[in-house]
């Protein structure tokens, strides 16, 4: 059976799209495999720490929700690509390839909306976990997280708008940006930008508080050497936060309609493939880091008690200044491994 002229022209495009889709599935599957290992480790750590408190149960539930959401995203992506192969290359062999491609493009919106909703869910949950860590690290001072929480709520509003508009759109592009009025067209980019701003502010606040803690401890204890595991945790929180912000900036490429014939499309495909999994990996990594090291909260308590320590050193009438300083160190210095 010979192909028509239109089918002969579209056949190379079908082959190129199939190749690019397979590459995206391989990349996302490999990322999901890494996430699965991290998820298993996170669950084991949390179970070993105990689930007696409501807080621990909630954190475990959030960890499972994030992984389940990312897993469903991978399954939907695979189903999306498999549907294309089936509808275009396997179903109705005598039909026109051009017509089958048009029919497939018109039907993919039914998978695009739930994918977008799950991705936004992971993004909002991840931002909430980051803000929670900032709140704890800053001694549960609500005023510190006012701006991040405001950005989070605004991002949630635009995310809901994006999903509603996308489900109501007659058609969509592969960037998952809904058509229609400007509020619909710009809802996803604005939600993304607010999420990025939330993470930048939150990571910066963690870095600022870490610097303040280190400075205050050194001011009181001249020869104090910070507990290495504790400060390694602080460094991991800061470094992972800024790395996630850099990655989130790279996701900007997804808002451009890059043709599949362009070499830049491979970069688009790469970030689109790993984005669904990274949005769950980052908050899960934070949960693992916090679960592995509990002494960070002890440092917060130590800093809050520094003023009391200084008062005892200055006004202790039962011993001399040298003895008071020594006693204060014994009482206030965090012990490694706590």
Give per-residue pLDDT as tens, 120-164: 999 999 999 999 989 988 888 999 999 999 999 999 999 999 888
pLDDT at 227 exceeding the cut of 90: no
User: Which three-class secondary structure state does DSSP give residue 130?
Assistant: helix
Strand segments, DSSP code E, in 224-264 are none
Please give the pLDDT value at position 72.
Answer: 94
Please give the pLDDT value at position 11.
Answer: 83
Q: What is the mean pLDDT of the chain?
A: 80
CATH number at residue 257: 1.20.1070
CA atoms within 13 A on the CB side of 10: 14
336: in domain: no
Which residue segment(s) compose the domain that 299 sits in? 5-304
Give the chain's domain count.
Answer: 1
Per-residue DSSP letter, 140: S
Residues 77 and 129: beta-carbon distance below 8 Å? no
pLDDT at 335 exceeding the cut of 50: no
Give per-residue pLDDT as tens, 229-266: 667 777 788 888 899 999 999 999 988 889 989 999 99
77: in domain: yes
Neighbours of 319 (CB within 10 A): 11
Mean pLDDT value across residues 317-324: 41
240: in domain: yes
What is the spatial distance between Cα 27 and Cα 204, in angstroms, rounded to a whole number? 31
What is the spatial distance between Cα 158 and Cα 274, in angstroms, rounded to a whole number? 23
- Put residue 59 in one of left, alpha, beta given phi > 0 → left and psi -120 to 50 → alpha: alpha
Please give the pLDDT value at position 15.
Answer: 87
The C-alpha angle 16, 22, 23, rounded to 5 degrees, equals 90
pLDDT class of 324 with cuts at 50, 70, 90: very low
Does 79 or 71 have the greater pLDDT score?
71
Which residues on adjacent β-strands are paired with residue 172?
178
């Amino acid at each position: 059976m010979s192909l028509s002229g239109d089918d002969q022209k579209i056949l190379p495009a079908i082959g190129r799209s199939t190749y690019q889709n397979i590459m995206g599935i391989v990349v996302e599957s490999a990322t999901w495999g890494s996430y699965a290992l991290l998820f298993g480790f996170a669950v084991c750590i949390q179970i070993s720490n105990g689930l007696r408190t409501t807080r621990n149960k909630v954190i475990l539930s959030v960890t499972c929700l994030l992984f389940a959401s990312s897993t469903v995203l991978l399954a939907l992506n695979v189903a999306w690509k498999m549907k294309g192969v089936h509808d275009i290359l396997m179903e109705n062999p005598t039909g026109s390839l051009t017509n089958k491609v048009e029919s497939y493009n018109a039907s993919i919106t039914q998978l695009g909306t739930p994918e977008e909703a799950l991705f936004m869910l992971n993004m909002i949950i991840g931002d909430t976990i980051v803000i929670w860590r900032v709140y704890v690290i800053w001694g549960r001072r609500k005023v510190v997280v006012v701006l991040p929480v405001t950005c989070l709520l605004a991002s949630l509003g635009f995310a809901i708008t994006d999903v509603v508009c996308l489900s109501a759109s007659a058609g969509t592009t592969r960037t998952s940006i809904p058509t229609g009025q400007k509020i619909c067209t710009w809802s996803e980019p604005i939600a993304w930008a607010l999420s990025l701003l939330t993470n930048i502010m939150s990571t910066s606040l963690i870095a600022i508080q870490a610097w303040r803690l280190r400075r205050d401890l050194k001011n009181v204890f001249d020869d104090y050497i910070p507990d290495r595991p504790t400060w390694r945790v602080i460094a991991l929180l800061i470094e992972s936060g800024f790395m996630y912000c850099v990655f989130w900036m790279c996701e900007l490429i997804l808002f451009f309609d890059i043709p599949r014939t362009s070499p830049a499309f491979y970069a688009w495909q790469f970030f689109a493939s790993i984005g669904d999994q990274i949005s769950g990996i980052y908050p899960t990594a934070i949960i693992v880091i916090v679960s592995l090291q509990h002494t960070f909260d002890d440092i917060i308590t130590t800093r809050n008690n520094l003023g009391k320590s200084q008062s005892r050193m200055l006004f202790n009438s039962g011993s001399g200044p040298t003895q008071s300083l020594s006693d204060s160190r014994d009482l206030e210095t965090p012990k490694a491994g706590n």
